[in-house]
A = this chain, B = another copy of it.
Amino acid sequence: MAPRDAIRPALRDAMMTDPCIGCGGRLAGLCQPLDTSALDEISSESERVTQSARTVLFREGDPAVRAFSIGAGIVKLSRLLSDGKQQVVGFRFAGDIVGYGTGKTYPYDAELLTGASFCRIERSRLDTLLRRHPVMERRLLDMCLQELAATQDQLVTVGRRSAEARVASFLLGLEEAYRRRGAVPDPLPMPMTRSDIGDFLGLTLETVSRSLSHFKKQKWIEEPAHQKLRLSDRAMLTELAEGMVQDL
């Protein structure tokens, strides 16, 4: 399955970094409930970074010294099994926090699927901030609880649904992810490969491809361009995802 990409030439890309100021810069999702003095404090503690697609933020097992708050872009979180198979544990979008946990090391790889900008902050500094601003900690707790619920959903999908139901569920979930952070772009950008999707859903890339082909043939979806997607028959996809119908 999707072999660990051997240090791709992506590093050629510029990596910009500067102090984390202004709007989107300030640990986006986390800081919503904060007042301006606190925001200033945070700006000085974190730095804003922009990196290009395919960059690896960190690898499973690396010492978890910093956390990332996504300003824009999509991040893939995945774990590698000893037999080379990969499980994608989730995708993260603007507003999400990546790399903050209890363990001493990161429990998964984090890789950019698109160019992305985000805030980077030392774990220890973030912990201090959290101690100083309980509202912020509260917000983090809520985000964590939501993430937990989403992961449990995913468990249901992977554990009990048919291949096509999983794919339909993924498509709807992708749209939902965009919806939750504002407007849904019309052709939905879908930067993940079939292999990424398969590894997320517990399927092979071939099965994902077959399902998508089938959906296209039935006009339930369109792919107006590469990595662009339009859900033409949401109702049908929903029924499929729920397992109310096997095919037709």
Given A137-B137, A151-B151, A156-B81 contact (CB < 8 Å): yes
Q: Chain B interface: which of A39-47, A138-146, A175-183, A224-232?
A: A138-146
Which residue of B81, B87, B90, B145 is within 8 Å of A101 (Cβ)? B145
Q: Is the CB of B145 within 8 A of A145?
A: no
Which residues of chain A in 160-196 are interfacial with respect to chain B, using CB atoms and an 8 Å cutoff?
160-161
Q: Does A79 interact with chain B (Cβ within 8 Å)?
A: yes
**In the complex, are the beta carbons of A160 and B85 less than 8 A apart?**
yes
CB proximity of A96 to chain B, nearest CB, Å: 13
SS class of chain A's interface: helix, strand, loop or mixed? helix
A83: chain B residues within 8 A (beta carbon): 242-244
Answer yes or no: A82 CB below 8 A from chain B CBs: yes
A134 CB-CB contact with B under 8 Å: yes
- Mark out the residues of chain A between 98 and 114 whose CB falls within 8 Å of any chain B CB in the assembled complex: 100-103, 107-108
Given A102-B142, A243-B81 in contact, is the A87-B155 Cβ separation under 8 Å?
yes
With an 8 A cutoff between CB atoms, is A148 at the interface? yes
CB distance from A110 to the nearest CB of B (A): 13
- Cβ of A158 under 8 Å from chain B: yes
Q: Does A52 contact B (CB under 8 A)?
A: no
CB pair B156–A89 under 8 Å, yes or no, is yes
| Interfacial chain B residues near A211, Cβ < 8 Å | none
B-facing residues in A16-70 (Cβ within 8 Å): none
A159 within 8 A of B: yes
Residues of B within 8 A of A156 (CB): 79, 81, 87, 89
Chain B residue, CB-CB nearest to A90: B152
A134 contact from B79, B89, B137, Cβ within 8 A:
B137
Instruction: Tell me, in angstroms, the Cα distance from A178 to B79 when the chains sit together.
Output: 25
CB within 8 Å of B: which residues of A? Answer: 79, 81-83, 85-87, 89-90, 100-103, 107-108, 130-131, 134, 137-138, 140-142, 144-149, 151-152, 154-156, 158-161, 199, 201-202, 242-244
